[in-house]
Amino acid sequence: MKRLTDQNYYQLLEISPKASFEEVRSAYNQAVSVYSIDSVATYSLFTQKEREQILSRFVDAYKTLTNSQLRREYDHSLVEKGELTAQEIGFSSLEDSDTTKDKLREVSIDSLIQKVEETENEAQPSGGNLDLLENLTSISGKSIKMIRMAREISLEQIYRKTNIPKKTLEDIEEEHFEELPAIVYLKGFLRTYAKILNVNQGQMADGYVQRYLEWKNTYQK
């Protein structure tokens, strides 16, 4: 498998050359949440410099693939290099409408790094509630949701602080287990989520994953 820094933008975001702008954005959000500088899932795999290089590639991919002209030029270059065929390219410039542009946002590597610094500088909720899950033998999505609501924190706020896709946060709370990512990523998301809720990270991650595995062993045999 190619290194992340050697993959083309479609391989990097794990999307089809025919992907819509919305699919590009969703893939970008997912990628950034996994490789962000404060990601628990990948924190030990890369140095800060390597991580910033990877994030920079994601930003370049996002900017290129959500701009019709840049995307056509990029696709043409991939065809010339033999990485794509003309038949594989199915992007329609009709999607490049004012409505779609309004839905896309400006991104930069500086903004990703700044977001991490702002999160680290924010005060943690008071009250010494790290043991809030202590008496729970199994951590359910409902219990996580109840704690979040008690904290008066919205999913939008968690998304903005962590870059965990809102869809993934909803799937965790509603226990849409079939929609959840691989366990290594799920654990990282849960630990990051627990940090925002100011509860024991290991207990929340391990307890929820245990519940997930029980579902998987029961319904996916």
Sequence-distant (6+) residues with CB within 8 A of 165 are: 26, 29, 30, 33, 159
pTM of this prediction exceeds 0.75: no
pLDDT in tens, the chain (221 residues): 567 778 899 998 989 999 998 899 888 888 877 776 555 555 556 677 777 788 888 889 999 999 989 999 999 999 999 988 888 876 554 444 443 444 555 565 555 555 444 444 443 444 444 444 554 556 889 889 888 887 888 999 998 888 889 899 999 999 999 999 888 889 999 999 998 988 888 888 888 998 899 888 887 65
Task: Return the amino acid letter for 64.
Answer: T
3-state secondary structure 126-192: CCCCCCCCCCCCCCCHHHHHHHHHHHCCCHHHHHHHHCCCHHHHHHHHHCCHHHCCCHHHHHHHHHH
Q: Per residue in 44-82, is it b (16+ CB within 10 Å) or e — as a string?
A: eebeeeebbebbebbbbbbbbbbbbeebeebbeebbeee
| Domains of the chain (ranges, CATH numbers) | 4-119 (1.10.287.110), 123-219 (1.10.260.40)
CA distance 132 to 207: 13
Task: Return the amino acid letter for 182.
Answer: A
